[in-house]
Amino acid sequence: MNFQEFFNADPVIVVHVICGLCAFIIGPIALYSNARQALHRAAGYLWVFSMILLAGTSFFIEGLKAFGRFGPIHLLSVLHFGQFLRRCGRFTRAT
């Protein structure tokens, strides 16, 4: 596959791949930067945002159809959203 075929693909697939690459590149920066630096926080927010988009766009990509329109990979997206919502509740509560 060359770049021309990639950019002629379905826009959902293009967004999905770009978000995946962004999360792949930004993840180690968020993990290995000092937790007290602004870089750590910014990289973390960008990683979470790209992972949410990555999981969200996966529902519009049809591949292995095991359960109607959905396949086993969509279970990971559901688990990701569940984990995200659980973590959001932990950090938004007043202590």
Cα(78)–Cα(76) distance, integer angstroms: 5
Other residues' Cβ atoms within 10 Å of the Cβ of residue 89: 9
Residue 18 has pLDDT above 80, yes or no: yes
> Between these two residues, 9 and 64, which has the higher pLDDT value?
9
pTM over 0.85: no
How far is 5 from 32, CA to CA, in rounded Å? 35
The mean pLDDT value for 78-88 works out to 75
Share of the chain above pLDDT 90, in %: 25
- Structural domain boundaries of the chain? 8-92
Q: Can you tell me the distance from the alpha carbon of 78 to that of 57, in angstroms, rounded to the nearest whole number?
A: 12
Q: Residue 80: which residues within 8 A CB-CB, separation 6 or more? A: 51, 52, 55
Burial of 35 (0-12, 13-18, 19+ CB in 10 A): exposed
- The mean of the pLDDT values for the chain is 81
